[in-house]
Amino acid sequence: MHITIVGSGYVGLVAGACFAELGHEVILVDNDTRKLAALKAGELPIHEKFLPELLTRHRDSRLKFCGDLIEAVTASTAIFIAVGTPPTDQGEADLSYVESVAREVARAINGYKVVVEKSTVPVYTSNWIRTVMLRNGASPESFDIASNPEFLREGTAVTDFLYPDRIVLGAESERCISLLRDIYQPLENGSYYGRQSAIPSPDNARVPPPLIVTSAKSAELIKHASNAFLAMKISFANAVASICEAVGADVQQVCLGVGSDSRIGSRFLNPSIGYGGSCFPKDLMAFRAVARECSYDFRLLEEVIRINENQRKRFLQKVRSALWTLKGKRLGVLGLAFKGGTDDIRESPAVFTVEALLKEGCTVAAYDPAAIERAREVFGSTIEYAPDAYRAARHADALLILTEWQEFAALDLPRLHSQLKYPIVVDGRNLYDPRIMVEHGFTYYSIGREAVAPETYVAAVSGRDKHHNKA
């Protein structure tokens, strides 16, 4: 199949590389000449596992980069729109880039085309794309509009694309659905997974994945509803964590008990400093805007957003509890990306925390395995950039863990203890067992669990031993 992907951002670049991996001829179109030149030279604008291998494998063969949309559309049967849909000041999705692409595609049609929404867009966008194309001279029988939402997680986007939980195809015509099925056939029939060169399967992958055919409107809603539900699980875990802290329970134990229910599941039921990134905050605002347009008061979304914002403030208060005053304190920070496995700092709770600490008069030394260069664009020289976790901790009044990178969960604790001015760790991702931390001499704060310190731990153990001996 000859495919055009419009937009070389996160979704477009991953989709283009993966479609090429499935055997299709892909043209990736962007109007940013500098980005195109970098991609042609083999440079990657994002940090994503397996993406370098796919670009090396398919660049200049099945995957080509182009700045001429009309040329690409003329050479393709399917055109996937993967341009940005940033939020407006009112929280709605800005669809001006989508509209611009629709106009250009309409003027380039030279035969039957399927135009596919790959960007996350609100319901009714497919209708508007059709209207725009008709207004710009495309005949009704020359194209179909489809919605094929992406469900990619940053850090695992390539495996999410090639080993998806589901493939959703939303369209109104059988001809369109048939063509989209052909595009995904190597995944639907499982033939891709038998290739020796296939990207390795993640644990518990559904092979082959289920393919769900819906209307375009339903597919558009599936994407927003999915992200809203996942964000809700995160906010729910954080709300429960607040109660656990108040009563002295352990939120990890509570979430284990809750998540073991097959009706609920454990994924995304993890307390933390909150969600961030380019999807959840933007998509919740857009979904809320859609609900308002439909005259539905979706208060649940309002509360999910409020809990997430409040969780960031609660974490700052936890840091204050550990240090009393913040002005003049030196803090080590582990993690700047919004999550582990990516260099994306958009809407990152870690960035929010660092910004707040700087306003309080703190000195910050930060380390992140992938996001340092992007962080420089935000912080400049206002923070120190450490080459590793231990240098970030050196002479710090406390160490804050803000991103769940795997290497942060496997630190050399005696070495870490020796680097800190005071052995205080405030863990916003619950990467450590409080008992292990206190046994290594740390005062340890986490989310939804009681703060522990060596002296309180010894007293608690002594009290239990005395009670046991009396018994």
Task: From residue 256, give the alpha-carbon distance in Å to each of 212, 273, 343, 458.
Answer: 31, 19, 29, 27
Backbone angles phi, psi at 111, to 5 degrees: 160, 180
Sheet holding 211-214, edge to edge: 63-66, 25-29, 2-6, 78-81, 113-117, 143-147, 167-171, 211-214
Q: What tokens appear for 229 in the block?
A: 């539900």
- In eight-state DSSP terms, residue 87 is B
Region class of 323: left (phi > 0), else alpha (psi between -120 and 50), else beta: alpha
93, 56 contact by CB (below 8 A): no
21, 58 contact by CB (below 8 A): yes
Cis amide leading into 186 (omega within 30): no
User: Active site residue: 244, 279, 294, 362, which one?
Assistant: 279
- Catalytic site includes residue 279: yes
Backbone angles phi, psi at 258, to 5 degrees: -70, -45
Q: What tokens appear for 186 in the block?
A: 């190597």
Write the CB contacts of 209 (distance below 8 Å, at least 6 apart in sequence). 163, 164, 165, 166, 167, 187, 188
- Residues belonging to the active site: 279
